[in-house]
Chain A
Amino acid sequence: MTMILQLGRSLRAKRYLSAIFVSLLVIGGIAVGQMWADVQPAYLYNLSGFNGPVHLNWGQIGIDQTRDEIYVTDPKTGAIIIFNDKGMEIHRFGEDGSLGAVSGVAVNDSGQILLLTQIDAKPAILICDYKGQPVSKLTLKNLPPEFSAFSAERIVIRHERIYLLDQGALLIVVTDEEGVFQFGYDIGRLLAVSEKKRLATQISGFSVDGEKNILFTIPVLFTAYKLTPEGKIFSFGRPGSAPGRFGVVGGIVADDEGNLYVADRLKSVILIFDKNFNFQMEFGYRGNKSNNLIGPKDLGLDSHHRLYISQLNSRGVSVFKLNYK
């Protein structure tokens, strides 16, 4: 009897030790990961006008890398607000709703503003001059049959290409600057998403990095993806609340070092991963302090290593400087 009790105690002790060991591994890994982060974000300011920070919810961000200007949509008024590289508003247009509900904004090398909107209830890509005056419509040409129902909801201009996303259909189309189809991706097929589940799967974050990789996130799969120009797809992310885990993911961007920045709307943080998808750190957290975040969604990154984060609760767009070791 005594032997059985001793054996039982011994086994219990081993279990406790195993549990402690696992916990230490997890906690230690997180702590080490945060210490080793090669990039440290520091809050700079919020995008502002002469009356202070511009209050809006979940604006879409477009960065004009050539002129260092930041474009943000105001979903409530339909306005497109332009800020200079110091974060001050310099122009806005469309606040009368005349351009419809703008779901995306991008600027090409010649300074023309491309807006994703609806004209006569049909999706359209509107080309505007630098003042926001519509000058023409961009028509997508030579779309293959499998992309015939393509409806752009997000737009990125980079590497002299226009990258367009149909969030619900899980389709990506890449055109030249004249709208001529170059190549496309059926993300649903790549990820083996059934037709029935396709619209319920929906892509959220969407950007293109300096190496022509397409980055995107799918909230309901708790996963972020990197699609290479060769069509190879890599994924990372696991659901959960702990640092490094995904709640409801939103925007995603990558810097020149290959570090990946993922917005988590639910956890109210930005997660940073290195180019090998190893978690580095996360920052923000829900709160009212200037360096806190509330419901971060869309992200933008300019050539001066400044990260733009659109948020909820009328917090507009917060700007963080990324400092590298």
Chain B
Amino acid sequence: MKPIKTIIRLLAIASLLMWLATPAMAFHDGGVAYCNGCHTMHNSENGQSIIPGGVPGVTGDSLTKGADPSSTCLNCHSGSGSYHVFSTTGGNLTPGGDFYWLTKTLTFPSRPGSTTMKTRNGRNCGHNIVAADFGLVADSDLTQAPGGTFPSAQLACSSCHDPHGKIANNTRQIMGSGSYGDPTPAQGVLGNYRLLGDVGYRPAPTTTFTNPAPTATTARTSAANETNSNHTDYGRGMSEWCSNCHTGFIAAGVGAHRHPASNTATLGSNLSTNYNMYVRSGDLTGTSATAYLALVPFERQISDRTQLSSTTTAGASSSSNAMCLSCHRAHASAFTNAGRWDFEVQFLVDSHPQTTDTGAIATDQLNSYYGRDVAAVFGTGQRSLCNKCHIQD
């Protein structure tokens, strides 16, 4: 009888272990993933340190398995398509952008037709996360976040995304991702949009977030390439959230000499009308039902993620507002300052990269505008996309 009980107990333990080891389709599922997916418990595998040159048992930064937090993230998220954010082609056309652009050094004429050459260094094109395994290094120009004090040397994926997916003051179970506009389940809650750090999140000793994660809904990874009808639909709070690090860049208007960007930076009737009628330079025949341009997104001032739609083509209303991501991408872009378009040229067709640029590959030009042939879509006379709201062209 006793052996049978022992066998039953062992089988029960084995079953429990097998259940615990069941693979999950979505690694994060809106909250914390399984611990040893990212961390080593004892900094040792088969008696050897997992840190290059390290000593077994002497732990490294946060016990992560990569050389640093971002290298750990990129171990999964480096690649092409779907959930990847760092490709070798610039072909990840996700709303946040492809860290590929940080690795590009382009040389081209300083002006169309000029013989004077200029160089665009990738480090000026996005958030320079430190990922030693992948050759991504700290920004050598800026030692701190513009408008704030976050140290560039500590910039990592986890500076913005909370890998543990915590929600401020939450006491309920996180049941799934909060990125896709799903309703809150009765038994718990959904995670923050893109696992963005919430109030109280402390990605560096000098920085504690005081603004909550924003409301937004995005396309599922199976259709992640951004288009005008497949995009992130922004609700509210994005600029406030960015100001957790870029404190000095929150909307202040004319007095602070900064472009307004916040929940209060509403477009009003004039700018929203502009947005909706503007199709391209010289073409103001647009209608509000189809006016949405993913290259110039805005927030709709909607707090309920289920009321947002990643497939809507609807334009702005007077209560919509400008935000940081109206002009910039969160990760990186082909253009300086992570611009959604090239801020350095008068006409978009003169944007770089171009196929003739030294350092460019054949697909760079098309990928820089997310698959758009600028001349075909907007015409050769298209000026800066600032005009989508301001119509000065």
Taking CB atoms, residues of chain B closer than 8 Å to A51 are none
Contact, CB under 8 Å: A313 / B81 = no
CB of A318 closer than 8 Å to a CB of B = no
Residue A285 is within 8 A (CB to CB) of chain B in the complex: yes
Does the CB pair B48–A97 fall under 8 Å? no
Q: Is the CB of B10 within 8 A of A288?
A: no
Q: Which residues of A contact B41 (CB under 8 A)?
A: 241
- The reply on B286 being an interface residue by CB < 8 A is no
Expressed in whole angstroms, the minimum distance between the Cβ of A134 and any Cβ of chain B is 12
Within 8 A of B (CB), among A200-246: 200-202, 204, 219-223, 238-241, 243
CB-CB under 8 A for A97 and B82, given A22-B13, A287-B49: no
**Contact between A199 and B221 (Cβ–Cβ < 8 Å)?**
yes
Say whether A268 contacts B50, CB under 8 Å: yes
Distance in Å: Cβ of B166 to nearest Cβ of chain A:
23
Cβ contacts A41-79/B at 8 Å (1 or 0 each): 000000000000000011000000000000000011010
Q: Which residues of A contact B361 (CB under 8 A)?
A: 78, 97, 100-101
Is A167 an interface position by the 8 A CB rule?
yes
Q: Are B40 and A241 in contact (CB under 8 A)?
A: yes
Q: Would B45 and A241 count as touching, CB distance under 8 A?
A: yes
Q: Are B80 and A103 within 8 A (Cβ)? A: yes
Could you tell me the dominant secondary structure of chain B's interface residues?
loop
A5-24: which residues lie under 8 A (CB-CB) from chain B? 14, 18, 21-22
Would you give the shortest CB distance from B131 to chain A, in whole angstroms?
9
Query: By the criterion CB–CB under 8 Å, are B82 and A269 in contact?
Result: no
Are the CB atoms of A285 and B48 closer together than 8 Å?
yes
**A295 near B133 (CB under 8 angstroms)?**
yes
Of A121, A265, A292, which one neighbours B75 at CB under 8 angstroms? A265
Q: Which residues of A contact B36 (CB under 8 A)?
A: 240-241
Q: Taking the complex as formed, is A266 at the interface, i.e. its CB lies under 8 A from any CB of chain B?
A: yes
Nearest chain A CB to B6 CB, angstrom units: 6
A247 within 8 A of B: yes
Closest Cβ of chain A to B181, distance in Å, is 14
A168 within 8 A of B: yes
* Of the residues A21, A78, A239, contact of B34 by C-beta under 8 Å: A239
Candidates A195, A200, A238, A266; contact of B65 at CB < 8 Å: A266
Q: A294 interface residue, CB < 8 Å from B? A: yes
Q: How far is the CA of A153 from the CA of B220 in the complex (A)?
A: 21
The minimal Cβ–Cβ distance linking A226 to chain B, given in whole angstroms, is: 18
| Residues on the B chain within 8 Å of A139, using CB | none
Q: Is the CB of B25 within 8 A of A197?
A: yes
Is B118 on the interface with A (CB-CB < 8 A)?
A: no
**Of residues 252 to 305 in B, which have CB atoms within 8 Å of A's CB atoms?**
none
Q: Indicate if A196 sits at the interface (CB-CB under 8 A).
A: yes
Contacting residue for A100 out of B134, B223, B362, CB 8 A:
B362
B48-86: which residues lie under 8 A (CB-CB) from chain A? 48-54, 65-67, 71-72, 75-76, 78-83
A323 contacts the other chain (CB 8 A): no
Which B residue sits closest to A30, measured CB to CB?
Answer: B46
On chain B, the number of residues with a Cβ less than 8 Å from chain A's Cβ atoms is 58
Interface residue count for A (Cβ, 8 Å)?
Answer: 58
Query: Does A312 have its Cβ within 8 Å of any Cβ on chain B?
Result: yes
B257 to nearest A CB, angstroms?
A: 40
Provide the residues of chain B in CB contact with A84, threshold 8 Å. none
Answer whether A292 and B362 are a contact pair too, CB < 8 Å, given A101-B88, A239-B21: no
- Chain B residues with CB below 8 A from A239, complex form: 21, 23, 34, 37
**B89 touches A (CB below 8 Å):** yes
B23 and A101 form a contact (CB under 8 A):
no
Answer whether residue A248 sits at the interface, using C-beta atoms and an 8 A cutoff: yes
User: B81 is contacted by which of A99, A100, A202 (Cβ under 8 Å)?
Assistant: A202
Instruction: Decide if A294 touches B26 in the complex (CB within 8 Å).
Output: no
Q: Which residues from 213 to 243 on chain B have a C-beta closer than 8 Å to any C-beta of chain A?
A: 220-224
Query: Which of A14, A202, A286 is the one whose CB lies under 8 Å from B51?
Result: A286
Residues in A with CB closer than 8 Å to B362 are: 97-101, 118-119
Interface contact B50-A285, CB-CB below 8 Å: yes
Q: Does B204 contact A (CB under 8 A)?
A: no
Interface CB pairs A-B, < 8 A, 22: A18-B10, A18-B13, A76-B103, A101-B91, A101-B361, A167-B80, A195-B222, A197-B25, A197-B222, A200-B25, A200-B222, A220-B23, A221-B25, A223-B23, A243-B45, A266-B65, A285-B45, A285-B48, A286-B49, A286-B52, A287-B49, A288-B52
Could you list 16 further interchain pairs (A-B, Cβ under 8 angstroms) beyond the known A101-B361, A220-B26? A21-B10, A97-B361, A101-B363, A121-B366, A153-B80, A199-B224, A200-B221, A201-B25, A204-B79, A220-B23, A241-B36, A241-B40, A248-B75, A286-B49, A292-B48, A313-B135
B: which residues have CB within 8 A of A? 6, 9-10, 13-14, 21, 23, 25-27, 34, 36-37, 40-41, 45-46, 48-54, 65-67, 71-72, 75-76, 78-83, 88-91, 103, 132-135, 220-224, 359-363, 366, 371
Which residues of A come within 8 Å of B, CB atoms? 14, 18, 21-22, 57-58, 75-76, 78, 97-101, 103, 118-119, 121, 153, 167-168, 195-202, 204, 219-223, 238-241, 243, 247-248, 265-269, 282, 285-288, 292, 294-295, 312-314
